[in-house]
Structure 1
């Protein structure tokens, strides 16, 4: 399949943006391992202010707690790279920003930081809308730090659009 190019990411972001615009929805992102790359891709398109509210890079556990309201107990009990944490990140993003849709990403891009249970390349994604339980999924990506992050951004853009379309 290969690593997604900048042009591929731009196309996927523009397509998600058109979907959001068409539904009259506004998105906010909460990113950890992707460092704001999803937000960057979404805002690279002219007119993105129609559907993009804000992007939060909550890299540390402390930032996840302070900015998104992720409970310390969830972080301690599950670790930052988990379904429980990205679910809480989605809920916190929706609550703090007032956006219609939220997307959260937390993972281990490497080269260090992995474990037997959560190897490098493990990335959790969450998305949802106010008033509903967030949807979460985990993917395992191969490659170096840039490849893992690039593939995580592509997956997030693609999967959120699919979910929004039902």
Structure 2
């Protein structure tokens, strides 16, 4: 369930922590008032985890990594496709005046793109984060509608939590391996 390289685990903690804070921020678009302290705490914890992961990755930058010329190229292609699909879908949703569906669309694309990333990095636990984010995206719309909540609040909170869990577990993996 863990990666072979400290640098990759630490960098994953950085990336997941950074993006978790973004999702907790997106959830603050229109959340129920009682959620705000938890969303702020999630953002802060995510940024602290990202900072720790970033510092640890930097200190192990010369160590081994799953990235080589082929992996880096393929990773760039996967991320490029992710951004393109996310942007096209978000643009279409905006044109169709369905802006409330943009957040779950982006979460769905992020979740799906993490499956090939997990394979590229040979980091199986990323599959769990991918599944959690994908499920969060799919469940967010009916869950939000059933409770008269903003879809962005539901998908932002659930995606933020999934990414934060991935960030914290990756940081722990990097620290234990260190």
Superposition TM-score tier, normalisation by shorter sequence: 0.3 to 0.5
User: Which protein has the bigger helix share?
Assistant: 2
- Which one has the largest radius of gyration? 2
User: Which protein has the bigger strand share?
Assistant: 1
Q: More relative contact order in 1 or in 2 (CA 8 Å, sep 6+)? A: 2
TM-score (norm 2): 0.32
